[in-house]
């Protein structure tokens, strides 16, 4: 037990020492040094602390498909105003039995989807989940109606989560002019 306490204590002290010494050396190292101790010392509470809390989820929506469609997808822009990359590793929604992070590729004129283990939202940047690209695949959906507010929860690699509300819509809600500065593949 004493050993555990000692480890936690040193983890708490480390960021201060690192912050004092690191800046003159490399820009990237303070972030890398600061992040792991912070999450290791603090048990992430779902929906509050943790890496996922750094994300702003905007323009989230779930595609409403014709009756009978088994699966659908959710889209959003994930913005990260923090100085550390945020890694999204999963998603959940009460309207789906199972959700996966998916990517989309075009091969020989055929669009295919594939599961991705993680979506990295770069520090100071964003990740765009949009039709034809990255998305949250929702399996065995309960078919929300247009206008419904759908709960969507994202999970991050430190175990933290963020829950947001996505608008059920047959097509992408019209928002600001869609200038995509950092479109995905
Ligand atoms: Cu998919």
pLDDT tens-digit profile of 58-113? 999 999 999 999 999 999 999 999 999 999 999 999 999 999 999 999 999 999 99
Instruction: Please enumerate in sequence order all residues whose Cβ is within 8 A of that of 163, keeping only pairs 6 or more positions apart, or say none.
Output: 47, 151, 152, 153, 154
Residues near ligand 1 ion, CB 5 Å cutoff: 102, 113, 137
- The predicted model scores a pTM of 0.69
Task: Give the separation between CA 99 and CA 174, rounded to whole angstroms.
Answer: 25
Instruction: Please enumerate in sequence order all residues whose Cβ is within 8 A of that of 22, keeping only pairs 6 or more positions apart, or say none.
Output: 29, 30, 33
The Å distance, Cα 62 to ligand 1 centre, comes to 12
pLDDT of residue 174: 72
Q: What is the pLDDT of residues 19-28, one digit of tens each?
A: 344 333 333 3
pLDDT of residue 133: 97
The Å distance, Cα 130 to ligand 1 centre, comes to 11
Q: What is the pLDDT of residues 120-143, one digit of tens each?
A: 999 999 999 999 999 999 999 999
């Amino acid at each position: 037990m004493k050993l555990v306490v000692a480890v936690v204590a040193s983890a708490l002290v480390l960021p201060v020492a690192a912050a004092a010494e690191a800046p003159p050396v490399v820009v990237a190292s303070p972030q890398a040094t600061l992040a792991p101790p912070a999450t290791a010392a603090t048990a992430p509470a779902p929906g509050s602390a943790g890496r996922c809390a750094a994300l702003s989820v905007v323009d989230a929506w779930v595609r409403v498909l014709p009756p009978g469609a088994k699966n659908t997808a959710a889209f959003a822009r994930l913005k990260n105003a923090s100085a550390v990359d945020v890694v999204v590793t999963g998603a959940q929604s009460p309207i789906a039995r199972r959700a996966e992070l998916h990517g989309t590729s075009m091969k020989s004129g055929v669009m295919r989807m594939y599961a991705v283990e993680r979506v990295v939202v770069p520090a100071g940047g964003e990740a765009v989940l949009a039709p034809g690209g990255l998305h949250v695949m929702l399996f065995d959906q309960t078919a929300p109606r247009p206008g419904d507010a759908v709960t969507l929860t994202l999970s991050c690699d430190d175990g933290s989560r963020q829950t947001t509300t996505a608008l059920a819509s047959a097509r992408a809600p019209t928002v600001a002019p869609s200038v995509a500065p950092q479109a995905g593949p």
